[in-house]
Amino acid sequence: MTAESPLTWLYAPGDRPRVVARALVSGADVVVIDLEDAVAPDRKAYARAATAELLRDPQPVPVHVRVNAPACPWGEADLAAVAPAGGLAGLAGLRLPKVSSPADVVRVARRTVSAHGGALALYALLETALGIERAHDVATAHPSLRGISIGEEDLRTDLGVRDDAGLDWARSRVVVAARAAGLAPPAQSVHPDTRDLEGLLASCVRGRSLGFLGRAAIHPRQLPVIERAFLPTEEEIERAETVVKAAVGERGAQALPDGRFIDVAVVTAAQRVLSLARRV
């Protein structure tokens, strides 16, 4: 998988350098070093310093850092350490938690643009009802913002949702907002049970049907399951190739020999399938 089209985003706690080192060679498309939820308050300073030290050098895969929310006691210190003036060679992006308004993005973007010349990608995590309501406003807040996604555990708590289906409206809202803003499809939130691979696969299949592309993970064993779920099957590739070949031969709406009707929208969908297949 290419760095430009990641399917797997593996989180690793910033206060555990050995876990981070293993994550970097796990096969994940992107490694996300976490300074927020995965790190206890009394370990924040150590996690921050260890992460900044690691990222002084280039890394084998793109590395993002999930900082603490800038409004909390640790957020500003995180930004000062991992996004200093002049930048860090190993840092590819920042993930901003608990974003609830465009101002949350703009505040960080202005700071990083002045320090990095606009090269640092930002990703907003929507984890509250207010954040979901403002999804499109957040998605269009600043050119440095490259993606939005949901922090489902926090959102579940905020909404008081008991059943997983209770999040489907919010999920669709974020998929639509990303598309309307011209951003890549969002990646799914983590599946918290690292041993429930069947449940993970079923959830990924459901997420793909809703328009998500790829998923965050918290253990390397989840990576091949996620990749398998989001890559097109041989049957899907074959059907897409048939559609694209037919479209080359004749423009406009038409019916294939097997009875399928195709038009511009169907051809566009088929081209997306083939583009995804070529990412491997």
Residues 82-132 pLDDT 10s: 999 778 999 999 999 999 999 999 999 998 886 666 678 999 999 999 999
Report pLDDT for 127.
97
Confidence label for 246 from pLDDT (cuts 50, 70 and 90): confident
Spell out a b/e string for 153-173, using b for 16 or more CB atoms within 10 Å of the CB, else e: ebbbebeeeeeeeebeebbeb
* Mean pLDDT lowest among 7-11, 91-95, 215-219, 266-270: 266-270
Please give the residue that has the higher pLDDT: either 166 or 254: 166
Question: Residue 1 pLDDT > 50, yes or no?
Answer: no
Closest CA to 2 of 25, 28, 29, 23: 29
Residue with tokens 């064993």: 221
Question: Residue 270 pLDDT > 50, yes or no?
Answer: yes
Question: Residue 60 pLDDT > 80, yes or no?
Answer: yes
Q: Calculate the CA 35 to chain-centre distance.
A: 17
**Contacts with 101 (C-beta within 8 Å, 6 or more apart), sequence order:** 130, 131, 134, 137, 138
State how beta strands 261-262 and 254-255 pair.
antiparallel
3-state secondary structure of 213: coil
Question: Residue 243 pLDDT > 90, yes or no?
Answer: no
Question: Residue 159 pLDDT > 90, yes or no?
Answer: yes
| Averaged pLDDT, 182-194 | 96
Q: Rounded to whole angstroms, how far apart are CA atoms 234 and 273?
A: 11
Torsion, Cα 209 212 214 218, to 10 degrees, reads -100
